[in-house]
Amino acid sequence: MAAALQQKINNLNKPKGSLGRLEELAFQIGMIQQTLSPELRHPVHLLFGADHGIEREGVSVSPRCITWQQMVNFTRGGGGVNMFCRQHGFELHLIDVGVDYDLSTYPAILNRKVAPHGTEDFLHGPAMTEEQCQQALAVGRELVDEVFAAGCNILSIGEMGIGNTSPSSIWMSLLLDLPLERCVGAGAGLNNAGIQHKLNILRRSVEGFYRLNSDSPTNSSTNNHVNPSQLLAYFGGFEMVAAVGAMLRAAEHRMVVLIDGFIMSACALMASRLTPSFLDYAIFCHCGDESGHRLMLDTMGAKPLLHLGLRLGEGTGALCAYPIIDSAVRMINEMGNFEDNHITKYF
């Protein structure tokens, strides 16, 4: 299939390679779908919401009430994610996997709470139990199974969870064997003092993890053998773990998975450590300004389509990139080739 796809792309009536990333995207999507004529059907955006115990340590400039307030706002169509979903024809699903608020009176929000008040504070111990981790993974798998059965073959994933740059930074540091200070940034808008406080809290949290896991390396600069499954439960948020479950299930279904900014890139990194072939199904859509995001992408060999300075989350960067992906599929299906158009092939 690889050779046939490349031949089809090379024989479109254009100079070889002249459509750059569009050609790479068309090739990738053709390989995912195992066809010379790929298509995008019924695009869906899953937005998982949950709260984080670590938020109580003052690691975010935003209070946790913003999580539930924004989830409610999404039901009214007033969020950035709503606008972009409308613009690009995505079906939006809102899923509560652990928001610290009773959202049961909002029928547009699917209730899949793993715990009613979000995760525990990982400064003092694991964010979740292994059972809760498995439950959150199952929520992601379940949602993907449902949309796949309804005809979806391209999926984007977003998140709403105040404080979730903190677990993302720790996942990045420990999975990539990088100093934590290279992975911690301003999140929703911390000043320099706030960033330093956040870094100190996360360092203490990592030290606590190693104390409780004595079989893990004790030196944070030599953590190549850290167990991704341990990190998933110890530091993850319910919305992040659900996203990892959704990503891996989507790959099983040979769906295209659109990856948004820093937090979803960290989830993609985790998914790739659990199942390395996952990256074959992922299209990285946006590089944000959060400290370390470009480094994370480079380490994964990811080439983001956009760099718009977005730091909203919600999956908005992935949605903004969709027209480029649509153009790649249209290119391979709708452009003529040299033979059919009676054009001399000149290379």
Annotated catalytic residue 314: yes
**237 vs 239: CA distance, rounded Å:** 5
**116 vs 57: CA distance, rounded Å:** 19
| Nearest to 50, CA basis, from 192, 241, 190, 218 | 241
Contact 329, 24 (CB under 8 A): no
* Category of 118 on φ-ψ map: left (φ > 0), alpha (ψ -120 to 50) or beta: left
Tokens of residue 168, six digits? 């993302």
CB atoms within 10 A of CB 120: 18
User: 146, 290, 314, 334: which one is catalytic?
Assistant: 314
**265 vs 260: CA distance, rounded Å:** 7
Q: 295 Cβ partners below 8 Å, 6+ apart?
A: 176, 178, 182, 183
CA–CA distance from 70 to each of 162, 167, 330 (Å)?
Answer: 10, 20, 35
**Strand 91-98 versus strand 44-50 pairing type:** parallel
**187 vs 190: CA distance, rounded Å:** 6
Q: What is the DSSP letter of 124?
A: S
CA–CA distance from 81 to each of 13, 93, 313 (Å)?
Answer: 37, 11, 9
**128 vs 52: CA distance, rounded Å:** 10
What DSSP line would sit under 325-345, residue for residue? HHHHHHHHHHS-BTTTTT---
**Residues with active-site annotation:** 314
